[in-house]
Amino acid sequence: MENCEIKELRKKILNGLNLSYRKLLETRKQLNETIVVSEGGKVVLLEAKKVRLKVYK
């Protein structure tokens, strides 16, 4: 694969992961659940309704 093909594939994979995470988070918000994430090796519990997503371009 050429370098630009690899970059495009990487971009598509990251976009797919982003969409999946957003869908999961929206479901959790509707159910008013807690989500568990890892931050710097520590487990963090977050209320889904309080989580704000950043948009990266």
In whole angstroms, give the CA distance from residue 54 to residue 22: 11
Q: Which residue has the higher pLDDT, 42 or 51?
A: 42
User: Residue 41 and residue 12: Cα distance in Å, rounded?
Assistant: 27
| pTM metric for this prediction | 0.59
Domain segments of the chain as ranges = 3-50
Reported as a single tens digit per residue, the pLDDT across 6-37 is 999 999 999 999 899 888 888 888 888 888 87
3-class state of residue 52 by DSSP: coil
Q: Which residue has the tokens 């990251």?
A: 14
Per-residue pLDDT at 1: 61
